[in-house]
Structures are given as C-alpha cells and as structure tokens.
Chain A
Amino acid sequence: MKNNIQKTALKSILALFLACTYSCSDEITERNEQFHALNPTNIDALAGTWKTFLLTAPDEFSLDLPLATNTPAFTREINEIKSYQNNISADQKRIVKYWSAGGVLRWNEIMRTLVARHNRPPYQNEDGTYSAPSGANPFANPQFPFSNPPYAARAYAYVSAAQYDAMVATWYYKKLYNRAAPFTVDATIQVLIPKSSMPSYPSEDGVLSGVTVELLKLLFPTEIAYIDGKAEEQKLYRILSGANVRSDVESGIILGRKIVAKFITRAGADGAGAAIGNQALWTQLETQTAATGETPWLSLDLPARPPMLPLFGKVKSFLMTPAMVTANRPVAPPSTKSQQFAKELAEVKSYGNNPSRKNMEIVSFWADGVGTYTPPGHWNAIASELFVDQNYSEVRWARNMALLNIAMMDAAISCWDAKYTYFNPRPSQIDPSIKTRTGVPNFPSYVSGHSTFSGAACVVLSHIIPAKAQSFINMAKEASDSRMFGCIHYRSDCEKGLELGEKVGGFAVKRALTDGAE
C-alpha cells in the first residue's frame, strides 16, 4: 500500500508539472497587432488645399507626370503585382496585414521603438565626467542620440509635420494627375486591403516612406539598417496588396525625399544642436540663481551630470515665437524659504511615507523614464490607439499627429524655458530623506515636464475627439499627479505645468481651426 502512495506521488508530481507547463500559455496579444486595415470614412478628397507647415505650396516640389494606364510599361507594372500575388508567402501576408493599418501609424510606432532604444543617459567616463553624444560620430560611446523627452518631442514633431506637409502634397498631386488605381485598370487584380477611391499616383505610402526614412536617418543614425528594412516592407506591401503599381510607390518616395529636405534644413538650424550648452553656461545657471538668494538646482546623479539640454527653451518652435514663449512663462515657483514651499515639500514627503499600491501603479504607469518612448511617446500611443477607431484617411492621420506632436514640442520648449529660468531644486535635494519611487530626472523641478506634455496633449486631443475630452483630462491629471506620488515633483510643478501645457496646446488648436481640415 505504501508503494502505491509513492507511485501515485511520483505520477502526480509529473502530471502536475506537465499540466502547469502546458496550461500556462505564453501567447500574448499585443494591442497594436489588433489594428484593422485603414478604411477611411472620409477620403478627404480636398486635402490638397490644406495649410502646410513648411511647404509654400503643395506643388512647391515637382512630381513627374505618371505613365498612362494604357501603355505597355504600365501593363508590365500590373503584371508585377500579379506575379507577386501568385507566390505570396506567409511572411508577405504578415507584412500586408501589419502595414495595412496605415503608414503614419506604423512609422509612428517604429519611431517610438527607436526613441525607447536610445533613451539612455550616457555612461560616465573613467574620470567621472560625461561625454556628449555626437551626431557627427553617432557610433562612438555614448551613442547618438540620447533620446530624452525634449529630444523625443522634437523628433516626433519633425516627423509628423513633414509627413503632414507631404500628405497634403500627395493629395494635391493625386487629384491633379488623377491616375487610376491598378485594380480599376485591371479588374482581375486581387486587392488584399480595402480599396480606396482616391487616385493612386503618387502612393501615400511611398511618400511617407521617402519623408520618414530620411528624417529618421538624421534623428537615429545608428538605426539606418533597421529603418531601411521597414521601408522595404512598406514598399513591398503596396505592390503586393494590389493598391499601387511600382511607379506610384517610387515616384512617391522621390517626392517625399524632396519635401523632407526642407525639414532637414530647418532641423539643422533650429537651435537643438546647441541646446546642451557648455560648462560656462552650467556654472552661470547656478551662480545666477544663487545670486537671487534661492537654492540652485544640483544634479542628483552620481557622478553629477550636467543639466539636460539647458538651452532647449531656445529651440525654434513651429507655432510660437520666442516672445510668445517668454509671455507664457509661468510665474516663479514658491521660494525655497517660503512657507508655501515647506508645505509642498511636506506633501511630497507624505506620499513617500504612505505609498498605496494604487499610487505606485500610477507612478509606474506614467513614469516613461529611461528605456521608454518618453511622455510624448506615451501620448502618441494613446492617440494612435484612439485614432485607429476614427477611421481617418492618411492625410488626416498625419494632420492630427502633427498637431499633437508640434504642441508637445512646444510644451518641451516652454517647459525647458521655465526650468532653466528658475533652476530650482528637486525635493530630494532639499530633503535627502525623501526617497523616490521613480528615477529623479536630471533637470530642474519647476515646471513638471510630464504635466506640461500632458496638458498640451490633452487640449489638442480634446479638440480632435471632443467626446473623449473628459478621459483626456483625467489621464493628464493622473500623469501629472504621478510625479508627486513618485516624490520627484512639488504640487506647484505639476499644477503650473498642466496650465502651461494647456496654454501651449491652445496654439495648435488655433491652427487646427484654420488649416482647412475642419
């Protein structure tokens, strides 16, 4: 009988282990795998007239006349589609499914990955100093870029603005040349994605690829092989799916490259390259703050790190003049010697003393720190998932992402302007007994970057999808609060940051009302 118990035991151990092993499926469903194919409710046929950011006119850059659809050359392009479709592989089907959700969306996602991969502060040198990442020598240590929140906000804005201008030009030329889609010319072609009634020359995906690839090469130079791989997929997708012939796509890429040159030139002269400052400036920030009788900010990183991008407040905005940045600057934070400050410091400390699991969850959910797509990336993710359900055309996708990201770049500019005007200390600098629940960012406290980004995003998104306004307000408030719960910001930082963001977002909303899209 004893023997039986033991045999049963051995069998049970095995059975339980196997049951556990097989019942616990590792399959994970990711939200962005669920996106349906782009099928706009409104094709925005007149988008060729919408107001652009840098292009002086939609036809500022020329596009060659397309091949006529009754030529043998065009027929060969049709045959190319059929030949691809005859031998379509599982991987090619995956490519079609992935890209069919939309080029603006997928490039935005790719960019969020690039930002997250490079959002890492440089590792110190032997002597405790730090080298700056250099665009001229991107593979050196540290690699270029360090895609911190201001860098990321600007990167998202440039890509989105360039994509938008390029989509307006695309819509203009589509209407001008009015070349029929391959499936209209030859009804025997299968179309693997929803058919668009817009003319197909140039291909919006081709133009998007031309624009985005060139900008990403500038912004993430160590990732060119990865970026090229994605661009090849996108190109193949249009032909495979029967939506475009090769000349639609390739002319689009050429047009995109012409347009993006204007954005690349602007990026080279917008002041971001000089935003890092130098030792003289870092010292000056400290002494000028001390001269006012206030406690200047000190890096809490070990070894101490120079402040992050102190001149980012001087970067040239798409919608604000330098005078507007100054005019919007928040009032000074409570003096570190004031009663108000003592009260706010005590509040921060109380969050540290009594961390509820819910608060910790909020801190972690919105932290968006090292190794993530940053707060602007988080808002891009939020916006994208909602935009998918709105069934926008590519041009409207581009327009809405541009408004959002330009507002968040302005938030970065305005927030950094305030941070380096006041150069005030973090709670843990004043009271080292305050332990934090997330990393302390390496820049002054007032105002909170998360709050400014979130205020701006909230205002723009509420304008675009008014039905969701309350949820945007709640999210922005929670993102803002998360910095207090994490013990890295005072209440003033958060409240004034949200206000500043809302003001800044107002400029993008004002533009939205007059760009011809509403």
Chain B
Amino acid sequence: MKKFYLSCLLFAPVLMSAQTEIDGIMMSKNNFCVGSIYQYSSWNQYWEGSFKRENLNLGTVSTQSFGIMGNYGITDKLNILFNLPYVETKASAGTMEGQKGMQDLSVTVKYMPLEKTTGNATYSLYALGSFSTPVSNYSADYLPLSIGLQSKTAALRLMGDFQLGNFFSTLSGAYVKRTNINIDRNAYLTSEIHYTNEVNMPDVISVNFRTGYRSSRLIAEFVIDNWVTQSGGFDITTNNMPFPSNTMNALKYGVNSKYTFKKIPQLSLLGGYNYVVEGRNVGKSNTFYGGLFYVINFEKKNNQDEK
C-alpha cells in the first residue's frame, strides 16, 4: 500500500499563482497537514512574443510570496486542499513601484478513485478539481509588476501515478478555465481597441510530469511543467507593455524534495528550484522555495499507517 502517514503537498508554482497539488500522494483520513511556503522568483530576461530580451528599465523583476496552505483527508481517498499566498513584486531598476497584497485563494478537491498494487508496483488514478478566486482588489493591469491576474479559475486535472519500489512517475494534465476580468481603464488594445473594461482571459492547458525517488521519509523528484495558453491570447509587441490576456506560455524544469523528520514524524521540510526553459510573453524566471509542514491527526485512535 502506498499510503503515507505524512504526505504533504509537493508544490509546483505555476506562473503567477502557486497552487497545484499535483503529486500522487493522499492524506489519510482525518489528518490535516498545514504549513507555509516562502518562494522567491526572479527574472531579468523575458519574451516579447518569441523575442527574448532584457529591459534595463526593469532590471531584475522579483516576486516573493508567502503562502499558507493545508490539506485535509476527508477519507483516505478524498482530500481537500487550500492555498492562500501573500505576494510582493519589485523591479530592481527604473522608476516603477512594485505591488504587494493577498492574492488568490485556491481550493482543490482531490480524489483517488483507483489504486492497485501488484507485487512491488502500485498504480493509482486521481481527479482534481480546483477553484481559485482573488481575495483582494489588486490591479491585474499593472504587468509585469501586478501580483496576479484577477481571474477566477476552475481547473480539472486528471493524473496517473506509478510507483515501483521507491521509484515513481506521475503524469497529469489539466484544463484551466479562466473567467473574464475587469480592469481600471475602459478601453484597451489587443489587435484592435476594445471599448470595455472587461477582458476575456484565454484558457490554459497545463501538463506536468514528475519522476524520482519516494519513500515515507524522503521525496526527491525531477519535474517538467508546461503551461500553454489557449486561443484568445496575443503577443506583446516590441517595447509594448504586457497585458493580462497576453498568451503566456512557460516550459519549466525543476527539482523538488521533501524530508520528514524521524524523531518528529509530524514535521516535514520541503524545498525546490525550477526555471523557465522556454516561454512566450513571460519572464525567464528562476524560482526557489522552501517550507515547513505539520500534520495533525484528528483520528482518536492513533493508527500507524506507515508503509
């Protein structure tokens, strides 16, 4: 049985909003994992369409975020997760003022309908439904320094996980539906000027693959994440300002790891790094993160559920 007494979230920060709990791990029934993650992401090059450039008027654009998140096991096969980040942006050069504030609350329902073990191998399937909504009235139309895009999102992700001994692979794909947003001006240019303050946000398909070592004490994995904006977006033209409904694509490589303390098995430490390999209308960012999680067991009897 691939069940972890201490199975917290491994985290894949996706563009503006770090949110997705896309690992092949479930919290056990009545366990609540809560923690926080600090993340630092920065870039000094970005793509205008396919043109990679730097901008001396921005220097290095950095985004720091501090998120509170949690995961509760309703049953062994059904978890509910949330994430709420505080985000702060800054440009190292030029005159533009950075932004800060609470960003978007996301809630995810994670369900594992199938888990099958044959010999040393375990297969499992998951369905994840995520919803996110901005929790403050930050300005989305202040890119590249806005703290988010203001869009409410609904994502459906299907995921398959395969574990052989202590080695595993997880593949998942999601369709992210994004609602229209309102901006502070009442006309804006895409290919032509639109006379409205409402902006149609293109949807996104996200594909994530991760593979590596996984035991109850240590997880170390390599991650590939591809975030692809669907039709309706458009490119930043040369020396133009970015816009929330730009096509924003990013292919990321990264590593994640999590260590669970032997003496205090409720406590785990996690960290990771990822970078954008190839993008379109996004920064070529490097991201580091680290966090601490603690599991509280609300089950009366203390069932040791370790592998």
List residues of chain A with CB within 8 A of the CB of B93. Answer: 302
User: Which residues of B lie under 8 Å from residue A121 when comparing CB positions?
Assistant: 239
Choose among B75, B111, B142 the residue that contacts A13 (Cβ–Cβ < 8 A).
Answer: B111
CB–CB A370/B241 < 8 A: yes
* A9 close to chain B: CB less than 8 A: yes
Q: Which of A288-303 contact B (CB under 8 A)?
A: 300-303
Question: Is B304 in the interface zone, CB < 8 Å from A?
Answer: no
CB contacts (< 8 Å) of A300 on chain B: these are 94-95
Q: Are A5 and B75 in contact (CB under 8 A)?
A: yes
Contact at A439–B56, with CB atoms within 8 Å? Answer: no
Which listed residue (A21, A31, A371) contacts B196, Cβ 8 A?
A31
Nearest A residue (CB) for B192: A113
**A20 sits at the interface (CB 8 A):** yes
For chain A, which range describes its interface: under 10, 10 to 19, 20 to 34, or 35 or more residues?
Answer: 35 or more
Q: Residue of B at shortest CB range from A146?
A: B239
Bound-state Cα–Cα, A132 to B78, Å:
62
Known A16-B154, A21-B154, A109-B193; judge A28-B200 contact (CB<8 A). yes
The reply to whether A436 and B95 contact each other, CB–CB distance below 8 Å, is yes
- Beyond A2-B75, A113-B192, A300-B95, whether A12 also contacts B109 by CB under 8 A is yes
CB distance from A353 to the nearest CB of B (A): 10
Question: How many whole Å from A242's CB to the nearest CB in chain B?
Answer: 28
Is B109 a contact of A9 with CB atoms below 8 Å?
yes
Residue of B109, B128, B183 with most partner-chain A CB within 10 A: B109
Instruction: Considering the complex, give the chain B residue whose CB is closest to the CB of A29.
Output: B196
In the complex, whether A364 has a CB less than 8 A from a CB of chain B is: yes
B135 within 8 A of A: no
- Which A residues are in CB contact (< 8 Å) with B127? 10, 13-14
Is A352 on the interface with B (CB-CB < 8 A)?
yes
Q: Does B3 contact A (CB under 8 A)?
A: no
Q: How far is B78's CA from A373's CA once the two chains are assembled, in angstroms?
A: 52
Asked if A361 is an interface residue, CB under 8 A from chain B, the answer is yes
- The residue of chain A having its C-beta at the shortest distance from the C-beta of B55 within the complex is A302
**CA separation between A381 and B185, bound complex, in Å?**
12
With A300-B95, A435-B95 known to touch, is A369 a contact of B154 (CB < 8 Å)?
A: no
The contact string, 1 if C-beta is below 8 Å from chain A, for chain B 146-186, is 00000010111000000000000000000001011001111
Q: Which of A478-492 touch B at CB < 8 Å?
A: 487
Q: Any chain A CB within 8 A of the CB of B139?
A: yes
Known: A20-B154, A113-B193, A360-B184. A6 touches B129 (CB 8 A): no
Q: How many Å from the CB of B237 to the closest CB on chain A?
A: 6
Q: Is the CB of A20 within 8 A of B241?
A: no
Q: Would you call B152 and A367 a contact (CB within 8 A)?
A: no
Residues of A within 8 A of B154 (CB): 16-17, 20-21, 24
Residue A117, interface by CB 8 Å = yes
Q: Which residue of B lies closest to A428 (CB)?
A: B95
Q: Which of B96, B189, B193 has a CB less than 8 Å from the CB of A436? A: B96
B74 interfacial contact with A, CB 8 Å:
yes
What is the CB-to-nearest-CB distance from A179 to chain B, in angstroms, rounded to a whole number? 36
Map CB proximity to A onto B106-117 as digits: 1 under 8 Å, 0 otherwise: 000101010000
- Interface range on chain B: under 10, 10 to 19, 20 to 34, or 35 or more? 35 or more
A28–B194 touching, CB < 8 Å: yes
| C-alpha spacing A24/B154, complex, angstroms | 10
Q: Which of B169-218 contact A (CB under 8 A)?
A: 177, 179-180, 183-189, 192-196, 198-200
**Closest residue to A371 on the B side, CB-wise?**
B240
Cα A188 to Cα B16 in complex, Å, equals 61
A20 near B75: Cβ-Cβ < 8 Å: no
Task: Check A123 against B238 for contact (C-beta < 8 Å).
Answer: yes
Among A10, A301, A360, point to the contact of B113 (Cβ < 8 A).
Answer: A10
Task: Point out the residue from A9, A117, A352 that lies within 8 Å of B78, measured CB to CB.
Answer: A9
From B56, B155, B193, B200, residue with most partner A Cβ within 10 Å: B193
- Expressed in whole angstroms, the minimum distance between the Cβ of B297 and any Cβ of chain A is 19
- For B306, list chain A residues within 8 Å (CB): none
- Pair A28/B95 contact, Cβ less than 8 Å: no
**A361–B139 CA distance with the chains assembled, in angstroms:** 8
Q: How far is the CA of A335 from the CA of B164 in the complex (A)?
A: 76
Q: Give the distance to chain A from B174, nearest Cβ to Cβ, in Å.
A: 10
Q: Tell me if A116 counts as interface (CB < 8 A to partner B).
A: yes
Q: Are B129 and A14 in contact (CB under 8 A)?
A: yes
Contacts of B57 in A (CB 8 A): 301-302
How distant is B189 from chain A, measured CB to nearest CB, in Å?
Answer: 4
Kindly list chain B residues whose C-beta atoms are within 8 Å of the C-beta of A31: 186, 195-196
Selected contact of A6 from candidates B77, B137, B189, CB within 8 Å? B77
Question: Is B299 at the interface (CB under 8 A from chain A)?
Answer: no
With a cutoff of 8 Å between Cβ atoms, the chain A residues found around residue B179 in the complex are 24
Would you give the shortest CB distance from A458 to chain B, in whole angstroms? 18
Whole-angstrom CA separation of A20 from B195 in the bound complex: 26
Is there contact, CB below 8 Å, between B239 and A122? yes
CB-based contact B95/A365 at 8 Å? no
Instruction: Give every chain B residue within 8 A of A370 (Cβ-Cβ).
Output: 239-241
How far, in Å, is A24 (CB) from chain B's closest CB?
4
A6 and B195 contact, CB distance less than 8 A = no
B131 adjacent to chain A (CB < 8 Å): yes
A268 to B96, CA, bound (A): 38
Tell me the smallest distance from the CB of A307 to a CB of chain B, in Å: 16
B129 touches A365 (CB 8 A): no
B180 with A117: CB separation less than 8 A: no
Contact, CB under 8 Å: B239 / A357: no
Given contacts A357-B137, A428-B95, A436-B95, 15 further A-B contacts (CB under 8 A): A12-B109, A13-B109, A13-B111, A14-B129, A17-B156, A24-B154, A24-B180, A123-B239, A302-B57, A355-B97, A360-B184, A364-B142, A365-B185, A439-B96, A440-B95
- 3 tightest CB-CB pairs across the interface, nearest first? A13-B129, A302-B56, A435-B97
